[in-house]
A and B are shown apart, each in its own frame.
Chain A
Amino acid sequence: MSENVQTLIGKKVGQMTYFEESGKATHVTVLEVGPCVVIQKKTSEKEGYNALQLGFAEKKEKHTTKSLQGHFKKSGATPKRILQEVRVADTTPYQVGQTLTVENLKDVSWVDVTGITKGKGFQGGVRRHGFKGGRNTHGSMFHRAPGGIGASSDPSRVFPGTRMPGHMGTDKNTVLNLKVVKIDAENHLLFINGAVPGADGGIVTVRPSVKK
């Protein structure tokens, strides 16, 4: 990761088919990335680690609490809906109030995207953990039930972490190694090949790929 490149906050706009310059039709996800404003710098001397607090998406002042209004005023920025911290090796190249746009990613060809997955509600073991379930016919009385969840009198309890039915989705999830197809700096749009977690309009964070 080079110094001027870093994680940015964005919004998932939607998915579409995009014709590349070569003429190839690609499946892309369009993200609106930035502009993000540096609201606060956290330093190892003061907070014990180096990070930038970034703000994304406008918010009305009347919807902002007094304490946050003061916080935004300190940076000179207008109130933002999303505040997120981004770790950096060194905070000195950045100034509070500085705007970071999608152009910061212009030399990046692969990105990782983190988002919150769509909520699925309460789901059974088959959907949630991929249990096989039983057969539906031939007198089978075992269909989609979870089955055994452990031994009996010894240990006389269910081990923590045993996979069972429950709430699924709305988890933080990162998709690694997504190819950047196009950057539209004018409209703050980033076109990437493949899908990202969450519904359209969901908040995502984009970072240069850590594994490429």
Chain B
Amino acid sequence: MNATIRKIEQAQVIRKNVPFKVGDTVKVSLRIKEGEKERIQIYEGVVTGIQNAGAKMRFTVRKISYGVGVEKTFYYQSPMIKEVKTTRSGKVRRAKLFYLRGKLNKKDARIQESKKAIQVPAEGVAETAQSIAASAEPAAPVEAAASTPVEPKAEVKAETKKSEKKEKA
């Protein structure tokens, strides 16, 4: 990729950490503009896939709405998303949960709860480059989060390393 394009793309990365993985139940707060007014709409469902591509990172959320399966794909870095919250961590063996399609009742589409939730230092939407830089050294929160289970520690460390690399680049 061209260096200029990469620079522009990185400037668009407003959310550094990904607080969910495939199989998790998330609440996506969407900014909906109606004329002058702006309101927040919440879309809740299971993450059935993540496509990683820098600023173009997308994730698909599936839910059952009035007996009909609905899948929506969002740009994770989109300004239209206010925040994404993980409400339940799921234990799955696949990267893409296509097997959930067609399973319309709750019993069939059930996902076992996982205790290995991704631990992410609390972070709001970083609006500017400076605030991204500031949140790039979350040394204290990382250690705190890593103190309990073994698995999340590795994940958190890997993530912070990645973000640090990005900062250097």
Contact = CB atoms under 8 A, between A and B. Distances in A.
Given A19-B75, A23-B78, A23-B80, A14 B55 contact: no
B1 interface: yes
A19 B78 contact: yes
Interface residues of B, number: 16
- Which of A18, A19, A22, A30 gathers most chain B CB within 10 Å? A19
B8 interface: yes
A14 B2 CA distance: 7
Contact of B75 (A15, A16, A22, A25): A25
B80 A13 contact: no
B56 interface: yes
Nearest to B14: A19
B122 interface: no
A19 B79 contact: yes
B167 interface: no
B75 A13 contact: no
Contact of B5 (A14, A19, A22, A24): A14
B75 to A, nearest CB: 6
Interface in A55-89: none
Contacts of B75: 17, 19, 25
Interface string A16-38: 11110111110000101000000
Contacts of B123: none
Interface in A153-205: 187, 189, 200
Interface string B78-97: 11100000000000000000
A23 B8 CA distance: 16
B151 interface: no
B31 interface: yes
B58 to A, nearest CB: 10
A16 B80 contact: no
B31 to A, nearest CB: 7
B56 A189 contact: no
A19 B77 contact: yes
A23 B79 contact: yes
B153 to A, nearest CB: 33
A30 B78 contact: no
Interface in A1-54: 13-19, 21-25, 30, 32
B12 interface: yes
A22 B33 CA distance: 9
Contacts of A18: 8, 12
Q: Which of B1, B8, B79, B80 has the most CB of A within 10 A?
A: B8
Contacts of A16: 5, 8-9, 55
A158 to B, nearest CB: 45
Contacts of B79: 19, 21, 23
Which 5 A-B pairs rank lowest in CB-CB distance, beginning with the nearest? A23-B80, A23-B79, A14-B5, A14-B2, A17-B56
Interface of B: 1-2, 4-5, 8-9, 12, 31, 33, 55-56, 75, 77-80
Interface of A: 13-19, 21-25, 30, 32, 187, 189, 200
